[in-house]
Amino acid sequence: MNFLSPRLSDLQLITYNQQQKMIWHIAKRELYDNLNSLRFALATVLLLALMLTNAVVYLREHPARTQAYHNAAADAVKALEARSTSLYRLATEGPGGLHKIPSPLRFCAEGDEVFLPKHADGRNYIRDIANLTAVWRMGYPQETPSLHNIRPDFTTLDWAFIVSYVLSFVAILFTFDTISGELERGTLRLTLANSVPRHTVLIGKFLGAFISVNMPFAIAVLMNLLLISTSDAVQLNAGAWGRLGILYAIVILYASLFIALGLLISAAVRESGVSLVVLLLIWVSFVVFMPNTLASIGSRISVPIAYVEFWNQRIRLSDEARAAYQDKYGGSQTKPPVHVLGEYVSKEAEEHERYNEAYLKEQIMQGKRARAITRISPAAIVQRLFESFAGTGFERHLQFIENVQRYAREYREFVVDTDRADPASLHVVGIREGMSQKPVSPEAIPKFKDTLSLNRDFNTAATDLLLLVLFLVVLMSGAYLAFIRLEI
């Protein structure tokens, strides 16, 4: 075939097979260029160092974390079973501490686990009301480790950081000159002088860059997982490996996104120096600044009252309830009927719990708003996706709270049902004289089990996944258009 003067018929002769061959040819050329380059070596070293640090830090911290959880959970169960001496105790003292199970995939995304509460409490932690024992209610304590933390600020070295910051950085460095560089050297003209359709060239370049970005990352990830899976401190089950697979798919999407961006800017700007500067500035704004600045704007839309304020209000609320009771029944010598007392204690606990939950809801809403607005930045999306699938962070905590609330209902139903089974009881829950005093078999008491459902994770992540794909499609078509219209 005479490539120097292609006729129409010749162009049509380029079959699908040949096109594919051409794509591979170009991709291979790109790949060889990259493999020999300084940037490939630097990127490999950088990613490898980060991933190994990640594994080492995780292996150092994880066993203690799991141990602490198991101890706390075992203590809680023991305390609960100690209350099985009478149903009345179970009904007033409640299920006790409910603990959040730590995710084995915390090395993928730290979330903000350090700052999130590790447990919820179902106890009667308020004083007795006049001569009555209060009934338990769910409370959601806060973690404030930052109060004592005088270390400098830093970002944790999880996969989410390595991917959203470093991998995108590497992707930009691999692609900023793929088109502009060839334009400057004039080799692009040479390539296109052959009867190669432009989109073939673009796809080839994309593939080349894709493989050269993914290769160092894949090596680093494999080393990381090798370290983690060979250590006997951690057992990753099939579910965890499945989640890791999903996470890797997200990495591929995200890396492609930045490669497409690199190709787009590289084609649009035509000068490598400028294209790198533009890309770096975009990178800095979208990856480093946007997630944080936007979140602080978003969180300010509605601000719940301070926790101290909430705490004081709650004390005021229970004081009022106590005063109201005192006014009504405190003076009289004879005790009011049992069902009046029962109604009173359960109402007090209910109102208290409702108040706790309303405050929690406000905080969650604030967190959700702050997170929603950061979706403009793909880096923030990836951070969220990593958290969702690693079972850490905000969404995971919401799931924990849901589990807690479901369990609280189950526990209450258990108490009511067991009480109903006792013919001697008056069925007034929460009052000593009103309900069954019989011991309960410790095995029969429902125990709290914190679970993670992949199904739910997919649901919460669906929007983010779609957004990521949308970003990718837009950037790909942008790159395609820019390259098609490129004048050489």
Give the whole-angstrom CA distance, residue 104 versus residue 288.
Answer: 27
Q: Which is nearer to another protein, 107 or 210 (CB)?
A: 107
Q: Which is nearer to another protein, 241 or 289 (CB)?
A: 289
Give the whole-angstrom CA distance, residue 106 versus residue 91.
Answer: 36
Give the whole-angstrom CA distance, residue 171 versus residue 138.
Answer: 48
Site for another protein in 405-464 (CB under 8 A): none
Give the whole-angstrom CA distance, residue 415 versus residue 80.
Answer: 13
The distance of closest approach from Cβ of residue 56 to another protein in the complex, given in angstroms and rounded to an integer, is 7
Q: Which is nearer to another protein, 51 or 341 (CB)?
A: 51
Both structure tokens of 215: 């290769």
Give the whole-angstrom CA distance, residue 151 versus residue 146.
Answer: 9
Q: Does residue 63 touch another protein according to CB under 8 A? A: no
Q: Which is nearer to another protein, 39 or 406 (CB)?
A: 39
Number of residues that bind another protein (CB under 8 A): 75
Site for another protein in 326-385 (CB under 8 A): 363-364, 366-367, 370
Both structure tokens of 67: 């141990």
Residue 339 identity (one-letter amino acid): H
Q: Which is nearer to another protein, 165 or 480 (CB)?
A: 165
Q: Which is nearer to another protein, 254 or 411 (CB)?
A: 254
Instruction: Report the relative pairing of strands 119-123 and 137-139 from DSSP bridges.
Output: antiparallel
Residues 307-323 as b/e (b if ≥16 CB within 10 A, e otherwise) read: eeebeeebeeebeebbe
Site for another protein in 392-411 (CB under 8 A): 393-394, 397
Single residue of 299, 329, 338, 442 touching another protein by CB under 8 A: 299
Site for another protein in 85-124 (CB under 8 A): 111-112, 114-117
Single residue of 291, 378, 430, 434 touching another protein by CB under 8 A: 291
What burial class does residue 211 get, using C-beta atoms within 10 Å of its C-beta: 0-12 exposed, 13-18 middle, 19+ buried? middle
The mark string for 139-168 relative to another protein (x by CB under 8 A, - otherwise) is ---xxx-xxxxxxxxxxxx---x---xx--
Single residue of 50, 108, 220, 261 touching another protein by CB under 8 A: 50
Give the whole-angstrom CA distance, residue 356 versus residue 353.
Answer: 5
Single residue of 1, 3, 10, 61 touching another protein by CB under 8 A: 61
DSSP per-residue codes, 384-413: HHHHHHHT-HHHHHHHHHHHHHHHHHHHHH
Q: Which is nearer to another protein, 181 or 442 (CB)?
A: 181
Q: Which is nearer to another protein, 273 or 336 (CB)?
A: 273
Single residue of 133, 231, 293, 437 touching another protein by CB under 8 A: 293
Single residue of 159, 169, 258, 407 touching another protein by CB under 8 A: 169
Single residue of 14, 48, 56, 416 touching another protein by CB under 8 A: 56
Q: Which is nearer to another protein, 199 or 300 (CB)?
A: 300
The distance of closest approach from Cβ of residue 357 to another protein in the complex, given in angstroms and rounded to an integer, is 15
Give pairs for 17-24: CB < 8 Å, separation 24+.
19/197, 19/200, 22/196, 22/200, 22/204, 23/200, 23/203, 23/204, 23/207, 24/204, 24/207
Q: Does residue 306 touch another protein according to CB under 8 A? A: yes
Ordered strands of the 119-123 beta sheet? 96-99, 119-123, 137-139
Residue 193's CB is within 10 A of a number of other CB atoms, namely: 12
The distance of closest approach from Cβ of residue 280 to another protein in the complex, given in angstroms and rounded to an integer, is 6
The distance of closest approach from Cβ of residue 330 to another protein in the complex, given in angstroms and rounded to an integer, is 15
Q: Does residue 39 touch another protein according to CB under 8 A? A: yes
Alpha carbon of 239 to those of 228, 345, 389, 452, 464: distances in Å?
A: 16, 44, 11, 10, 21
Closest by alpha carbon to 407, among 4, 136, 42?
Answer: 136
Q: Which is nearer to another protein, 37 or 86 (CB)?
A: 37
Q: Does residue 226 touch another protein according to CB under 8 A? A: no
The distance of closest approach from Cβ of residue 156 to another protein in the complex, given in angstroms and rounded to an integer, is 6
Single residue of 72, 218, 225, 277 touching another protein by CB under 8 A: 277
Give the whole-angstrom CA distance, residue 477 versus residue 267.
Answer: 12
